[in-house]
Amino acid sequence: MSAPLRQAEIDLDAYRANLERVRGWMHPVEVMAIMKADAYGHGLEPIALAAVDAGIRWIGVLTVPAALRLRAIGVGEDVHLFTWQHDPALDFRDAIDSAVDLGVSNLAELQRIVEAVDQRPARVHLGVDTGLHRDGSSIDDWPALVEAARDAQRAGRIEVVAAYTHLAESSDDDDAASVSLFEAAIERAEDLGVDVPMEHVAASLAGLERKEFRKDMVRMGANLYGIPGADGVSAADLGLEPVMTVTASVAKTKRVPVGTGVSYDYTYRTDDETTLALVPFGYADGVPRSAQGRVEVAINGKRYPIAGRVAMDQFLVDVGDDDVQVGDTVVLFGTGERDEMTVLEWGAALDTIGEEIVCRIGARVNRVYSGHSVEGRVGEYLRGEHA
């Protein structure tokens, strides 16, 4: 049987197993499952429903529209949906009415939220910048933000749910300094009359390695997808399972003579008479042009390097005299069980991180969900039976 043209298999049982393992590590601290970038390219709705079925009650989705997608498929208000990157033109009314938690970084953002409040207070997390410099209030502006939040809460317009920051994960000393800044900011907030019920500081790496930074909740992303962030640490080392396996099919084969130039610019030439196999998976699908000669794919349990430039829609591999046929499965990355590279190996080969690799997998690569977890609400969603 021929393999699908392009496919990403998402193992929901692996995701849930990772989730349970991570929750065990973090206990008794709460875990927020991070699902930004369409759940790291794995598909937001199925991943979220699987997480909710496993008992997760905090999900981070970056934007309000993503949170509203989850409310629309039946993720109820017993699950808190945290968002923190807001369109400057966004009307917060739907988010507030749907009990979406809103990260707030500045006075203008808070004012827009307060003005959008109708029948229920907005759920707000106050963000403070402790050194990453991409989100949160500056230390200098923090007192004014806290005072405005205090007044809005006393007026019944908002509920301060939490305060948060994000660490740069540059070094132990830098992170410790950032946490000290955060703790000082919390003390200042309390002095100004705002009780902070919950604090969250650490993401995947810091949450894993620095127990003292876990506070009340850890925002856990990459580890849940079987992509550990620590240098030199594999998923197997931590007992995690890669969730995404990407495959394609051999679309064509061609016998060529010695010295044949392959793909654009002839950056690869054959050393012998050989067979070239065409794989319909290009940079439009998430394989960067830099993968030539650095990434290997597996066909019939054997690895072959990408030969020649990666094109928009395909790349070629030199399979020599091996018996490779049209329709054979090509495994780009996965668990390693078929001698294929893992996503961490791809990241190392391409001087990046595994998260970037999975997030690059394009929309025309069909996502197929597997495992016993494809039941209940997940199955209903995949069959189009959700409300």
Alpha-carbon torsion angle 177, 178, 180, 181, nearest 10: 120
Give the relative orientation of helices 44-53 and 64-72 as an angle to the nearest 10 degrees: 60
CB neighbours of 143 closer than 8 A, spacing ≥ 6? Answer: 188, 192
Catalytic position from the list 15, 36, 283, 369: 36
CB neighbours of 240 closer than 8 A, spacing ≥ 6? Answer: 18, 21, 223, 226, 228
268 is catalytic: no
Q: How many CB atoms lie within 10 A of CB 102?
A: 27
Which DSSP string corresponds to 3-23?
A: PPSEEEEEEHHHHHHHHHHHH
State the Cα–Cα distance between residues 29 and 14, nearest whole angstrom. Answer: 22
Catalytic position from the list 211, 252, 254, 264: 264
State the Cα–Cα distance between residues 151 and 139, nearest whole angstrom. Answer: 19
302 is catalytic: no
Q: Return the biggest CA–CA distance within the chain.
A: 80
Q: Distances in Å between the alpha carbon of 68 and those of 36, 83, 117, 302?
A: 13, 10, 17, 44
State the Cα–Cα distance between residues 326 and 5, nearest whole angstrom. Answer: 11
Catalogue the active-site residues: 36, 264
